[in-house]
Structure 1
């Protein structure tokens, strides 16, 4: 009691509080180089060990704190062994935080605006811009993507970036189609066995509904088919081979049965006992794209317009295939992996090599 520990004042508080102390211009003689070095080593070790762990470790403010500590140490060295009147240690901390954030998140102007607003000093814009530019240049030489984007790719999160990959420029809709087995194509009225065969295609989440003439009239989802199948079977209309499962079906809990869309699928005299009206489960206004539509336009349809699935049709309106959001994400990632493996460079490839590079690896 009655003692003050500068290292504890940085570690035994929130990262926001520690950043405020580092940015302060009035505590030059309170936190010394050795204190900053110990805090830097401790916090950097903890931050590296917790990276990627599904806990709220605070990567944004954590990177600000690490950069601020590094900048503050540089300020202490300049003050003790260089020219002490250049700037106070808090300014060095702000420049270090900006450089660390720019490299970690691969942001530029946003970092400068954020740090300048925190300091409420427009005179910091030139040194911050210089630090951010150098940090971004060095980071681009080492890492192609920022931390958040790399996390998304490694964890397999279904995400589409704002811009399509360059390898997609000469691709068309036919090149982006999902691998759709014949069992996944459903008629407007399908038998129980047909629906079960479709649900066995585990990689398919959206099922096109095809009428006569090979015309797609909508898409239905796996969840809707499963719920409709449970509701239909629980109502007592069972197909051949399912009689033995009747007791199990009727034993469904209330919580599970509340999720079944029994209001859509019910007993109606217009349907036989072994048929499901799949058309009533489908979205009747699907996105349709011509088979020759350029790949970047299709990418924007999913990334910016929020489409989940689209039907690829011919000029006569015949169904040629389906493009789903998950399928497009897989194509994009295969293209990015091919780009990383081949060190693709559009400026050095001739036309024939570029055409061969556009083949999607399976």
Structure 2
């Protein structure tokens, strides 16, 4: 038998409304690619993201366009050249990694030449809301060691204070999702420093982040929307202290591995992040978690239910995937 590609769209309800500076959502809409070859099936999941001009229909179409090459025996290296970075390539790249691991009878981390992954502590995300509501959410999650706080409004100092007051022992990451501006950047950095925040993600719009080079970064700043694949690394020098590697942006694990290597060579710290998806989307990213200072792979914790088998979460501790899930 030859190679067969199948693609499907899945909808996974969220446990609660998830709100960031750009809007709210009540479900995770994911695209799953499956590649069957020699009696084995590899799977990959991606999350089309409107911020990057992606739609579910467009991602499905891009995956379908790759069908002839894949079913003719195409590999990951050919995929990198044939498709741009983004969600569609991520689903196919991760499916090919999973397939290679199954065909070889070896775990994907071993095929990639990476250390064996172990359990890691993930951040847990607090959705953007009014300060009082965010304080209440922080109190409920105060037992978690690392909280990621969604911000990006004109009144973020009050939100930061409310979260810190209600979760005094947790390490805090702030994610403004491009919601701050140059004229409030310094004040917001100061509020974060006063609250003991350990990292700030993408405070300014990616098109206007030059101000980061001219302000005292009282807290390390991490590029998210300003960073996709290796081609976007050079412009980050002097503006950021870390990068958030998401497989959906990088276009798969293959590029993410290379991106992590090149970023560390430039002296940038790593954060491994995710879109809101199931355990199938988180599993490949866990192969890079050992290189990162911060891990944010809590997508399944935000769902009302995860796929089975899924990743094992014990509180904020997440374990590497079993072969039944991926890799």
Task: Give the TM-score taking structure 2 as reference length.
Answer: 0.23
Structure number with greater CO (CA < 8 Å, separation at least 6) is 2
Q: Which has the higher strand share?
A: 2
Q: Which has the higher helix share?
A: 1
